[in-house]
Amino acid sequence: MSEQITRRTDRTVDAQAVLPWLLAVGVCLLLVTLGPKLLNDPDTYSHIALGRWILEHRAVPMTDPFSLTLRGEHWVAFEWLAQVIYALALDVGGWPAVVALAATATSTAILMLTRFLLREWQPTPTVIAVLCALVLTAPHTLARPHMLALPILVGWIAVLIRTLDTRSTPPWHLLPLMTLWANLHGSFTFGLAMIGPIALEALLNAPVAERWRVVRQWTLFGVLALVAACINPYGPEMILVTFRTVALGAALSTITEWRPPDFSHIGAFEIIMLGAFAFALYRGVRLPPLRILMLFGVLHLSLSQSRHADLLGMLGPIFLARPLAEQFKALAADPFGATMRAPAWTPLAAGALLVAVIGVVTLRQDLAPPAHNTPVNALRSFDVAKAMPILNDYNFGAYLDFVGIPAFIDGRTELYGAAFTLRYDRALRLENLPDFLRLLDEHRFETTLLAPNTPAVALLDRLPDWQRTYADDIAVVHRRRRTSPAGNN
């Protein structure tokens, strides 16, 4: 009987050990199946364009190399390493390789989250939490630099929280990860900021006699993490980019992903959030004060800008794992599962399957950025060299960067600044019609390249100095008349 129980226990432990790999492979399969959706963001074009520029010049830009408006102005390419990686992926394997890269990064983050949670929770609540994290992350799962940084985000926070839960010394081995993170994506400043509340909780949990030692260790760790973050081509200025972005204020509301979530219709975000609140109220969940602070911090970010829902999904369960396991014994992982290790063949099999999937996905012909961000036919309708300067739609700017045409504006809002971005947005939406006319004359535009639903398009149709020369479902082109219609009669 005892032998049968042992075998059953071994099989259960093995199943739990394999679970993270199964979820990771499943997520990767799902994402490559939905491949075109990962390219559904115009900024992917400009990220790859900048990566190619860096590879060509073998240097990072210190000034803007692309725009019509601010070329030569000081600018920090704070995602330079991720942009180089995406550019290399496109050169090696085309758009399928770009999709595969983003999908692999996402599935790696899921793998890490699942393994962390299985140390604290039973498999069922772990799978529920991971699926909720995947749903919250899905709208922002795109082939952009933040996806390459997602596994680092999860790993950094998971290790710090594990250190806190086990009352260990700061994880010094984690410091090189901060350097990599700082060169991939600006979210590294969030990782730096999280050191503060985690160190404070470590201090409060420590015996009184050891608190001075804890202060010294975590202070040194914080300083070294800051130094590690400054190991990049721009030094400390990389940290300032986050503050410059936040300082854009109202200009961020012109960008969809920076707007708060829309709760006018019930959606997945609201269902998950209300479900979590209901569970907490029904079961009487109690959390340490600083865990509440951490959880409410990521909740605030996700409610402020929809792009931060992935922080809530990925990090919320990490903050809650140990406190909930200690409070609800039925939720807590058994001691065998908590120390489980996957069989040696598991990562090899998962890796082989991922390679096979990536190989198959490269054969797909439909993997390319969507047409609504790619005004190819509109650009072919006129001689670009004779049509400059061009007033372009915001979402077309990245494609213009990609094909080497100077854009009036693109997705780098931190470069253009709040005043410029707001003026552009209000002018093209005709909130300030006289200013739109001034904008046309100030920059001496010869051509406009705008989306059909832009209010300014209808006005251009009625202006005597402008003529519609091309239109399709993606873009409308207007050219400035050399002579007025009356002058032609």
| Model pLDDT for residues 283-322, shown as the tens digit of each residue | 999 999 999 999 999 999 999 998 899 999 999 999 999 9
CA atoms within 13 Å, Cβ hemisphere of 119: 19
Under DSSP, the state recorded for 450 is E
Burial class (CB in 10 A: 0-12, 13-18, 19+), 164: buried
pLDDT tens-place string over residues 451-460: 999 999 999 9
Burial class (CB in 10 A: 0-12, 13-18, 19+), 309: buried
Other C-beta atoms within 10 Å of 168: how many? Answer: 11
Per DSSP, the residues of 311-335 read HHHHHHHHHHHHHHHHH-TTTBPPH
**Rounded CA separation 442/320 (Å):** 55
Helix (H) or strand (E) holding 104: helix 80-118
pLDDT category, 344, cuts 50, 70, 90? low
Closest Cα partner for 295 from 314, 282, 279? Answer: 314
- State mean pLDDT over 53-62: 96
Under DSSP, the state recorded for 234 is T
Residue 194 near residue 160 (C-beta atoms within 8 A) = yes
Instruction: Fill in the amino acid letter for 319.
Output: F
Distance from chain centroid for Cα 140: 6
- State mean pLDDT over 336-349: 56
- State mean pLDDT over 8-30: 73
pLDDT category, 177, cuts 50, 70, 90? very high
What's the pTM?
Answer: 0.91
Tokens of 19: 């679970």
Res 143: pLDDT? 94
- State mean pLDDT over 65-94: 93
Res 203: pLDDT? 94
Tokens of 14: 């093995």
pLDDT tens-place string over residues 22-51: 899 889 888 888 878 899 999 999 999 999
pLDDT category, 114, cuts 50, 70, 90? very high
Res 364: pLDDT? 62
pLDDT tens-place string over residues 353-403: 666 666 666 666 668 899 999 999 999 999 998 999 999 999 999 999 999
**Rounded CA separation 108/155 (Å):** 10
Tokens of 4: 């049968």
pLDDT tens-place string over residues 118-160: 999 999 999 999 999 999 999 999 999 999 999 999 999 999 9
Residue 21 near residue 342 (C-beta atoms within 8 A) = yes
Q: Helices 237-246 and 413-428, interaxial angle, to 10°? A: 20
pLDDT tens-place string over residues 216-246: 999 999 999 999 999 999 999 999 988 888 8
What does the mean pLDDT of the chain come to? 89
Res 308: pLDDT? 92
Residue 11: is its pLDDT beyond 60? no
- State mean pLDDT over 438-452: 95
Closest Cα partner for 373 from 16, 3, 4, 41? Answer: 41
Which residue in this structure is represented by tokens 């503060």? 196
Percentage of the residues of the chain whose pLDDT score is greater than 90: 72
Percentage of the residues of the chain whose pLDDT score is greater than 70: 89
Residue 175: is its pLDDT beyond 50? yes
More confident residue, 344 or 234: 234
| Residues paired with 448 in a beta bridge | 391, 478
Residue 282: is its pLDDT beyond 50? yes
Res 257: pLDDT? 83
Res 349: pLDDT? 62
Helix (H) or strand (E) holding 477: strand 476-480
Residue 433 near residue 456 (C-beta atoms within 8 A) = no
pLDDT category, 163, cuts 50, 70, 90? very high
**Rounded CA separation 194/293 (Å):** 11
Cα angle value 247/253/254 (rounded, 5°): 115
